């Protein structure tokens, strides 16, 4: 690669958040007019790397980054995304950044509108220039045509199908005058097959016109189809940087997920029969769909044996988090769920809890805790409300009085068992560290003495010591109380270390169920949704 042709050069870039190292020694380069595919699991560091390149505030707010990044030969030092935009970098995020009540052309030119000066604007300032809508429509049309998609620039965004919205986002970025580098973060996630084809063609066109593109996707087929170079990130490190030519999907999947076999702990001998012949099924899920924004579940079916630790993995946004939330009635859901053979009415949190299911949410601070209440409240609350525990009946059962003493005893018990670091059980949950907050959430679930425990992202954002303790307590609870556990996690290693079986969710469906010691490449393929396509064979 000749030096003059290199647009972006990333050298020895690293990043850590409060002692947690997320990126290390990242080195790669991108030529002008070429497309680079960036592949990796959740937590591999893709988003952090993009945030660094794009100059997002949270990077500077948390201590900046190590290493250097050169754009067109010049070292970059972005203080905010606006700097990045002015330098010619555009980024299309996964969440749409569109004004619903505006037309396509208004969105494409948002804060970049073309204006005509007037007398008033000459006195009072540029803000009072009138919009030149004709010119704006023309520019928008050009951008849309460049992408090769059929879209009415006068249509309101709120009335547009999802796929079109994605194109408008991209049109906005390429419309910037000096755009040199375009970062696309999972742009095909919401597109149909045909729309994705159009997008890939458009990307090629843009690249040919001189714009470099970083294409982040988990759809490995698309990566191979359109990229010139492929970079695979794993655990914050670049494991592979190769030209895409000659690579196949299986290889990439392996690089994405693969780890040394030697590094793994030996799997415990488990005494749960997970074969088909074991009919003791505690939970039967049939054609479940869940409308959880960002984690949509389309059609999921599986069954869990009593006493099993069942893992659910998959990439972010594919739907794994939606499954437990749906069963617990926190988001609209449909389909059929059988608990112990009896149908569990969906969309009722109370029913699920009363049936013996406990839930540890992935949203620790938002859903899992009462931050402004004490630890003992947090731990005892569900058991009190659903199972009438920690209640003293007065006046012949007419009044249900809160038994603060019993709550404290229960809290003390769990503070000991889980080693929750706090000044007392009266301390407010807000003041605990992330790891200890997670332990409180676990205690809340344990306190209900559930027969089925759904845990989502149990070790997200907590330190190594606490991680081990959390996983240990789950394992112990399962051993001692025969509690069935369904564990949803983005960390494959975690799942492989304690689960009996692991289901992988891709595009809202179960792509497959594997044994924890299955080949790593298998997991990678399932996560990219490929085995699924192969089996079905048909495109939409």
Partner 1 sequence: MPSPGKRGRDMKQKSQSVMRFLTGSAVPILFITISVIAIPLSNYSGLYLAREIVTRLCRDSFLVLSLLIPVMAGMGINFGMTLGAMAGQIGLIFITDWGINGAFGLFMAALIGTPIAILLGYFGGIVLNRAKGREMITSMMLSYFVSGIYQFFMLYLCGNIIPIKSPKLLLSRGYGIRNAITLNVAGGFDKLIRIPIGKVYVPFGTILLIAAACIFIMWFRRTKLGQDMRAVGQDMGVADASGIKVEKTRIESIIISTMLACYGQIIYLQNIGTLNTYNGADQASLFAAASLLVGGATVSKATIPNAIIGTALFHLMFVVMPMAGKNLTGSAMLGEYFRMFISYGVVTIALVLHAWKRHKDKEMGRALLREISSENTGK
Partner 2 sequence: MNRVKEGIRNFGWPRIIIGLFLLALFIAGPFFGVATDMSLNDVIVRFGMNSVLVLSMVPMIQSGCGLNFGIPVGLVAGLFGAVMSLEFRLTGTAGILVAFAIAIIVGAILGLAYGLLLNKVKGDEMIIATYVGYSIVFFMNLLWVALPFKNPSSVQGFKGQGLRVTISVQDYWFHQISDILAIKITNNFVIPIGMILFFALMSFLVWAFFKTKTGTAITAVGSNPDYARAAGINVDKMRVISVVLSTVLAAIGMIVYQQSFGFIQMFSAPLAFIFPSVAAILLGGASVNKASILNVVIGTLLFQGILTMTPSVINSAISIDVSEIIRIIVSNGMIVYALTRKAR
Binding site for partner 2 (CB under 8 A): 328, 330, 348-354, 359, 361, 363, 366-373, 377, 381-382, 384-386, 388, 391, 399-402
Regarding 373 and contact with partner 1 (CB under 8 A), the answer is no
**Residue span binding partner 1 (CB under 8 A) among the ranges 27-35, 127-135, 411-419, 449-457:** 127-135
Min dist CB 372 to partner 1, Å, is 19
Regarding 70 and contact with partner 1 (CB under 8 A), the answer is no
Nearer to partner 1, 334 or 465 (CB): 334
- β-bridge partners, 90: 182
Min dist CB 508 to partner 1, Å, is 8
DSSP state of 75: E
Regarding 298 and contact with partner 1 (CB under 8 A), the answer is yes
The whole-angstrom separation of Cα 235 and Cα 253 is: 14
517 vs 249, 278, 345, 500, 503, CA distance in Å? Answer: 21, 21, 35, 10, 13
- Kindly tell me which residue out of 3, 58, 61, 127 binds partner 1, with binding defined by CB under 8 A: 127
Min dist CB 293 to partner 1, Å, is 8
The whole-angstrom separation of Cα 165 and Cα 127 is: 28
Rounded to 10 degrees, the C-alpha dihedral 333/339/341/345 comes to -40
Regarding 167 and contact with partner 1 (CB under 8 A), the answer is no
- Kindly tell me which residue out of 286, 299, 403, 449 binds partner 1, with binding defined by CB under 8 A: 299
Contact 471, 22 (CB under 8 A): no
Regarding 322 and contact with partner 1 (CB under 8 A), the answer is no
Report which of 104, 226, 218 is spatially closest to residue 161, judged by C-alpha positions. Answer: 104
The whole-angstrom separation of Cα 226 and Cα 232 is: 16
**Residue span binding partner 1 (CB under 8 A) among the ranges 113-121, 176-184, 241-249, 391-399:** 113-121
Question: How would you class 126 by CB atoms within 10 Å of its CB: exposed for 0-12, middle for 13-18, buried for 19 or more?
Answer: exposed
Regarding 334 and contact with partner 1 (CB under 8 A), the answer is yes
The whole-angstrom separation of Cα 321 and Cα 293 is: 10
Tell which positions 452-511 bind partner 1, by CB under 8 A. 507-508
Site size for partner 1 (CB under 8 A)? 35
Min dist CB 382 to partner 2, Å, is 5
Rounded to 10 degrees, the C-alpha dihedral 530/535/539/540 comes to -100
Contact 474, 458 (CB under 8 A): yes
Regarding 161 and contact with partner 1 (CB under 8 A), the answer is yes
Regarding 140 and contact with partner 1 (CB under 8 A), the answer is no
Footprint of partner 1 on this chain (CB under 8 A)? 81-82, 85, 97-102, 106, 110-111, 113, 115, 121, 126-131, 161-162, 192, 289, 291, 293, 296, 298-299, 332, 334, 507-508, 540
């Amino acid at each position: 690669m000749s030096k003059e042709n290199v647009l972006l050069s990333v050298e020895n870039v690293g990043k850590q958040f409060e002692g947690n190292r997320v990126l290390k020694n990242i080195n790669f380069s991108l030529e002008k007019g070429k497309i680079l595919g960036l592949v990796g699991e959740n937590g591999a560091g893709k988003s952090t790397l993009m945030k660094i390149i794009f100059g997002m505030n949270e990077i500077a707010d948390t201590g900046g980054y190590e290493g250097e990044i050169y754009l067109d030969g010049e070292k970059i030092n972005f203080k905010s995304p606006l700097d990045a935009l002015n330098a010619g970098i555009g980024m299309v995020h996964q969440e749409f950044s569109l004004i619903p009540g505006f037309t396509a052309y208004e969105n494409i030119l948002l804060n970049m509108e073309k204006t005509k000066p007037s007398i008033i604007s000459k006195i009072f300032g540029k803000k009072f220039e009138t919009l030149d809508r004709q010119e704006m429509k023309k520019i928008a049309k050009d951008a849309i045509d460049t992408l090769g998609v059929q879209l009415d620039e006068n249509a309101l965004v709120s009335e547009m199908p999802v796929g079109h919205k994605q194109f408008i986002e991209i049109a906005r970025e390429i419309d910037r005058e000096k755009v040199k580098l375009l970062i696309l973060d999972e742009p095909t996630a919401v597109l149909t097959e045909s729309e994705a084809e159009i997008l890939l063609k458009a990307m090629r066109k843009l690249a040919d016109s001189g714009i470099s593109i970083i294409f982040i996707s988990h759809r490995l087929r698309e990566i191979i189809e359109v990229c010139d170079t492929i970079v695979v990130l794993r655990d914050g490190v670049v494991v592979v940087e190769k030209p895409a030519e000659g690579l196949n999907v299986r290889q990439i999947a392996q690089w994405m997920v693969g780890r040394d076999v030697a590094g793994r702990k030996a799997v415990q001998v488990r005494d749960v029969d997970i074969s088909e012949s074991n009919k003791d099924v505690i939970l039967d899920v049939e054609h479940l769909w869940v409308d959880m924004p960002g984690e949509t579940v389309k059609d999921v079916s599986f069954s869990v044996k009593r006493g099993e630790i069942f893992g659910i993995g998959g990439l972010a946004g594919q739907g794994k988090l939606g499954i437990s939330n749906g069963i617990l009635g926190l988001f609209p859901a449909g389909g059929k769920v059988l608990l112990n053979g009896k149908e569990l009415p969906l969309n009722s949190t109370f029913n699920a809890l009363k049936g013996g299911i406990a839930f540890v949410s992935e949203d620790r601070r938002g859903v899992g805790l009462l931050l402004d209440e004490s630890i003992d409240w947090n731990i005892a609350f569900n058991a009190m409300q659903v199972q009438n525990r920690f209640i003293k009946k007065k006046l012949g059962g007419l009044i249900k009085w809160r038994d603060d003493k019993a709550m404290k005893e229960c809290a003390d018990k769990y503070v000991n068992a889980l080693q929750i670091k706090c000044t007392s059980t009266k301390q407010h949950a807000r003041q605990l560290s992330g790891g200890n907050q997670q332990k409180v959430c676990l205690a809340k679930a344990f306190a209900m003495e559930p027969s089925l425990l759904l845990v989502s992202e149990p070790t997200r954002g907590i330190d190594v010591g606490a991680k081990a303790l959390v996983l240990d307590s789950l394992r112990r609870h399962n051993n001692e109380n025969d509690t069935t556990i369904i564990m949803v996690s983005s960390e494959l290693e975690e799942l492989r270390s304690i689960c009996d079986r692991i289901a992988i969710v891709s595009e809202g469906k179960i792509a497959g169920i594997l044994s924890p010691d299955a080949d790593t490449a298998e997991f990678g393929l399932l996560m990219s949704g490929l085995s699924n396509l192969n089996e079905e064979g048909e495109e939409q």
